[in-house]
Amino acid sequence: MTTAAVKPATMAQALQRAMRDAMAEDPTVHVMGEDVGTLGGVFRVTDGLAKEFGEDRCTDTPLAEAGILGTAVGMAMYGLRPVVEMQFDAFAYPAFEQLISHVARMRNRTKGGMPMPITVRVPYGGGIGGVEHHSDSSEAYYMATPGLHVVTPATVEDAYGLLRASIASDDPVVFLEPKRLYWSKAEWSPEAPAAVEPIGRAVVRRSGRSATLITYGPSVPVCMEAAQAAAAEGWDLEVVDLRSLVPFDDETVCASVRRTGRAVVVHESTGFGGPGGEIAARVTERCFHHLEAPVLRVAGFDIPYPPPMLERHHLPGVDRVLDAVARLQWEAAS
């Protein structure tokens, strides 16, 4: 890449660029996973890294998720910053033991003596017609584990900025990549990449006064579209993109809800035991006297991720979001 011109870039390219820049700046950054080398990952997110930095820095590992993350723990103990790719959401489960028992709590076990600066990249979520085990939204499992940061970008710029921040973080980060946004494009200059923000700040993607849509990752574009459609009905919706689920930006979220008095949480993950329950509870605890209606949730159904030909019925779409917004108005009027 030699031209500095602003041209459309995909989220996958921005993620690749983030790893490339991090590896160029810091020789302790190592990328590892299944097929990340020669192939460049099944989504091509690590494309070219092995060629540029060698197989010792971008390593095709044996096919074993616990082994990948477990060896990354040892590498981190010796001063490296591993960036681990889990091929698909549901294939990260074999690594849960290492993640929960060691990655998340090594700092704590050792009173700060052994930090774990590991980034675990997980392509997640549905909408790409994947067969079973290729579309899970597993964020609630990660959120329930103290010691982990959990972040998920929704834009090309954030993909770059958040991944740089994650790799630079001295704490382990589960970096959830909304795989159906991999090919979403934006005008973006890889030569002058976006600012690297600290992890933990939500952003208001669209401001409005009638109600707040609280969302993240793959549901952000859905909410933006819903907000646009709602405008035609006279509802002026604000959209908050969380970007980071842990830590949670209570401040931005609550400031918005206090302004609008109404909130809907939107995500693909299941509703029962899902992130929306936590978010709704936090908002209710903090903003109860500002609320004019109960905090509603629009989530995936409480079912194992459906087969691809039925996934459109499961995924929260614009209509379901608008229906919830309509219910908010109704609750307020009654």
Partner 1 sequence: MTVQELPGSAAAAYRPTPPPAWQPRTDPAPLLPDPEPYRVLGTEAAASADPELLLRLYAELVRGRRYNAQATALTKQGRLAVYPSSTGQEACEVGAALALEERDWLFPSYRDTLAAVARGLDPVQALTLLRGDWHTGYDPHEHRVAPLCTPLATQLPHAVGLAHAARLKGDDVVALAMIGDGGTSEGDFHEALNFAAVWNAPVVFLVQNNGFAISVPLAKQTAAPSLAHKAVGYGMPGRLVDGNDAVAVHEVLGQAVARARRGGGPTLIEAVTYRMDAHTNADDATRYRADSEVETWRAHDPIQLLERELTERGLLDDGTRQAAAQAAETMAADLRERMNADPVLDPMDLFEHVYARQTTQLREQAALLRAELDAEEEAR
Q: Which stretch binds partner 1 (CB under 8 A): 58-66, 206-214, 303-311, 323-331?
A: 58-66
Least Cβ distance, residue 91 to partner 1 (angstroms) = 14
Question: In this complex, which beta carbon is closest to partner 1, that of residue 210 or of residue 244?
Answer: 244
Check residue 110 for interaction with partner 1 (CB under 8 A).
yes
Residue choice 13, 16, 98, 119 for contact with partner 1 (CB under 8 A): 98
Catalytic residue among 30, 102, 133, 134: 134
Check residue 234 for interaction with partner 1 (CB under 8 A).
no
Check residue 288 for interaction with partner 1 (CB under 8 A).
no
Q: Where are the alpha helices (DSSP H) in 90-214?
A: 96-98, 106-109, 139-143, 156-168
- Rounded Cα gap, residues 123 and 179, in angstroms: 5
x/- site string to partner 1, residues 142 to 171, per CB under 8 A?
Answer: ----xx-x-------------------xxx
Residues touching partner 1: how many (CB under 8 A)? 46
Residue choice 20, 107, 262, 267 for contact with partner 1 (CB under 8 A): 107
Least Cβ distance, residue 48 to partner 1 (angstroms) = 20
- Rounded Cα gap, residues 104 and 193, in angstroms: 30
- Rounded Cα gap, residues 9 and 94, in angstroms: 33
Q: Which stretch binds partner 1 (CB under 8 A): 12-20, 57-65, 263-271, 307-315?
A: 57-65
Q: Alpha-carbon dihedral of residues 136, 141, 143, 149, nearest 10 degrees? A: -80
x/- site string to partner 1, residues 173 to 192, per CB under 8 A?
Answer: --------------------
Question: In this complex, which beta carbon is closest to partner 1, that of residue 146 or of residue 273?
Answer: 146
Least Cβ distance, residue 75 to partner 1 (angstroms) = 4
**Could you tell me the two tokens for 261?**
């008095």
Check residue 38 for interaction with partner 1 (CB under 8 A).
no
Q: In what order do the strands lie in the sheet with 173-178?
A: 58-60, 29-33, 81-85, 119-124, 173-178, 149-151, 244-246
Least Cβ distance, residue 149 to partner 1 (angstroms) = 8
Residue choice 2, 3, 5, 56 for contact with partner 1 (CB under 8 A): 56
x/- site string to partner 1, residues 59 to 78, per CB under 8 A?
Answer: --xx-x-xx-xxxxxxxxxx
Question: In this complex, which beta carbon is closest to partner 1, that of residue 17 or of residue 102?
Answer: 102
212 SS3 class: strand
Q: Catalytic annotation on 289?
A: no
Pairing of strands 203-206, 237-241: antiparallel
Question: In this complex, which beta carbon is closest to partner 1, that of residue 170 or of residue 187?
Answer: 170
Q: Alpha-carbon dihedral of residues 140, 144, 149, 154, nearest 10 degrees? A: 10
- Rounded Cα gap, residues 229 and 215, in angstroms: 17
- Rounded Cα gap, residues 221 and 65, in angstroms: 31
Amino acid at 325: V
**Count of CB atoms within 10 A of residue 292's CB?**
14
- Rounded Cα gap, residues 11 and 17, in angstroms: 10
Choose among 268, 149, 247: nearest CA to 201. 247
Check residue 106 for interaction with partner 1 (CB under 8 A).
yes
Check residue 113 for interaction with partner 1 (CB under 8 A).
yes
Longest dimension (CA), the chain: 65
x/- site string to partner 1, residues 240 to 259, per CB under 8 A?
Answer: ------xxx-xx--------
Helix (H) or strand (E) segment spanning residue 265: strand 263-270
Residue 324 DSSP class: H
Per CB under 8 A, residues contacting partner 1 are 56, 61-62, 64, 66-67, 69-80, 94, 97-98, 101-102, 105-115, 146-147, 149, 169-171, 200, 246-248, 250-251
Positions marked catalytic: 134
